[in-house]
Amino acid sequence: MEFNIGPRMVKTGLAVALTLLITGLFDVQFEIIAAIATVLAMQPSIMRSFNYIKEVLLSNTVGVIFAVIGILLLGSHPISVGAVVIIAIAINIKLGLNKTVSLTVLTIVSIMLASTDDHANMLYIVERVSLVAVGVISAFVINVIVNPPDHQKILFSMIKRASEKSNFLLRVIPSKTMSIPQVRDEEREIEKEINKARDYFDIITDERNRLFIRKRIDFLRNIIIYKHMIQVLRKKFTLIIELEKNLHEIEKIASGKSHLIKKLVSEINNYSENVFLMYEDRIVLDRDLQKETKNAMRVTINNLIEALQGSDYEKWHYVFPVANSIIELFYELDKLERFVRRKEQKQYDQ
């Protein structure tokens, strides 16, 4: 079993330590509330940490208001606390503050349980809210100062890993050098990698709103490229699924068309690899030569379409999904190549 300690784990531990040092310095009781708030507030990016603080301000205001009203009207009985928590969660979700629900519940419970005789003790309320604030701010400070993540590098490594696995399957499926159970295991892994990349892309798009970003134009240009790379991954995955599902039947009923399909898959796989290598500045693709290669691929695609003209329904049923996936992937790669070349040109001009 693997045991990995990632940067976010380390930062969470440091943030908890900082929180406990601050609460210890001011001799504050119930420091566990601040420590829990720190763990809940640790976010994967600086911008998300900043947005989280804004949400905490609003959601905790809701929590304090409901806690005070709950104490005055219902007292601090466990059933009363539970009822207030239910209402506060519903209000938070209605306001779109889903991410801070846990902290709101923590605030309500800590305030209501600390109050006695069915009276809202303002000193206790301020102390409990301050504990939550210390935890959230400690998490934000550590997130900013300690090893801020290189989101572009992390995202591209995810995209590259998914692309390499996709390229591998696009080689082995036409040649039938891997068993069907192994292919399906690989498909599931690729789908997970693509979903992880898409989720992380949401994080990197949040970073666009940061005030201080070095080389902002390059950053925004890369976001567009990553978006198209993920689109390419999705199209590749669709092609993999269609090949795995239909290629065997195509070989049985239309061997000539299967040859064209295998040729196209091989060419488009090489094209994909070259575009990714060009983005990494590992190769230089001659424009004229690449144009000839793409024209040759278009000719092959047209040949496949012409070969389908007048075919019966059964052939269309198996061949069309594969042909359509190839065409969509080709045009998505063509768009990606144009964006990558623009990036190269801008770097050259600089």
Asked whether residue 2 is domain-assigned, the answer is no
Highest mean pLDDT among 25-34, 203-212, 218-227, 248-257: 218-227
32, 155: one domain: no
**DSSP category for residue 118:** T
Burial of 60 by CB count in 10 Å (0-12 exposed, 13-18 middle, 19+ buried)? buried
Asked whether residue 1 is domain-assigned, the answer is no
Per-residue pLDDT at 28: 78
Contact present, 242 and 174 (Cβ < 8 Å): no
123, 164: one domain: no
| Percentage of the chain modeled with pLDDT above 90 | 29
How many domains are there within the chain?
2
- Structural domain for 174, as ranges: 151-349
Per-residue pLDDT at 254: 67
Q: What is the pLDDT of residues 297-333, one digit of tens each?
A: 888 878 777 776 766 666 777 888 888 899 899 999 9
Q: Where among 83, 118, 146 does a domain terminate?
A: 146
pLDDT, the chain, mean:
84
Residue 347 clears pLDDT 60, i.e. is over it: no
Q: 80-89, 208-217, 288-297: which range is least confident on average?
A: 208-217
Q: What is the pLDDT of residues 245-275, one digit of tens each?
A: 888 887 777 666 778 888 888 989 999 999 9
Q: Where among 146, 165, 189 does a domain terminate?
A: 146
17, 46: one domain: yes
* Stretch 205-215: mean pLDDT: 65
Residue 8 clears pLDDT 50, i.e. is over it: yes
Q: 166-170, 278-282, 303-307, 333-337: which range is least confident on average?
A: 303-307
- Please give the Cα distance from 61 to 310 (Å, whole number): 69
**DSSP category for residue 211:** S
Q: What is the pLDDT of residues 219-239, one digit of tens each?
A: 888 899 999 999 999 999 999
221 φ/ψ sector (left φ>0, alpha ψ -120 to 50, else beta): alpha
Asked whether residue 320 is domain-assigned, the answer is yes
Q: 53-62, 139-148, 287-296: which range is least confident on average?
A: 287-296
Asked whether residue 55 is domain-assigned, the answer is yes
- Please give the Cα distance from 318 to 110 (Å, whole number): 62
Q: What is the pLDDT of residues 74-117, one digit of tens each?
A: 887 888 889 999 999 999 889 888 888 888 898 888 888 776 65
Q: Which of 315, 296, 317 is nearest to 307 (CA)?
A: 315
The pTM (predicted TM-score) of the whole model is 0.76
Q: 3-7, 42-46, 107-111, 303-307: which range is least confident on average?
A: 3-7
Q: What Rg, from alpha-carbon coordinates, does the chain have?
A: 28
71, 156: one domain: no
* Stretch 1-22: mean pLDDT: 82
State the CATH number of the domain containing residue 324.
Answer: 1.20.58.220
Burial of 294 by CB count in 10 Å (0-12 exposed, 13-18 middle, 19+ buried)? middle
Asked whether residue 198 is domain-assigned, the answer is yes
Which amino acid makes up residue 258?
S
Neighbours of 55 (CB within 10 A): 20
Q: What is the pLDDT of residues 129-166, one digit of tens each?
A: 888 889 899 998 998 888 777 888 889 999 999 999 99
- Please give the Cα distance from 140 to 11 (Å, whole number): 10
Per-residue pLDDT at 116: 61
Contact present, 108 and 67 (Cβ < 8 Å): yes
140, 191: one domain: no
- Residue 1 pLDDT grade (very low, low, confident, very high; cuts 50, 70, 90): very low
Question: How many CA within 13 A on the CB side of residue 3?
Answer: 0
170, 270: one domain: yes
**Per the structure block, which two tokens stand in for 22?**
């601050």
Q: Where are the alpha helices (DSSP H) in 95-150?
A: 101-114, 122-145
- Sign of the C-alpha dihedral, residues 166, 171, 174, 175? negative
Contact present, 39 and 142 (Cβ < 8 Å): no
Per-residue pLDDT at 196: 94
Find how far residue 232's CA is from the centre of its chain: 16
Asked whether residue 282 is domain-assigned, the answer is yes
129, 202: one domain: no
- Please give the Cα distance from 290 to 298 (Å, whole number): 12
95, 62: one domain: yes
Per-residue pLDDT at 70: 87
Q: Where among 101, 129, 146 does a domain terminate?
A: 146
| Percentage of the chain modeled with pLDDT above 70 | 89
**Per the structure block, which two tokens stand in for 112?**
């209501």
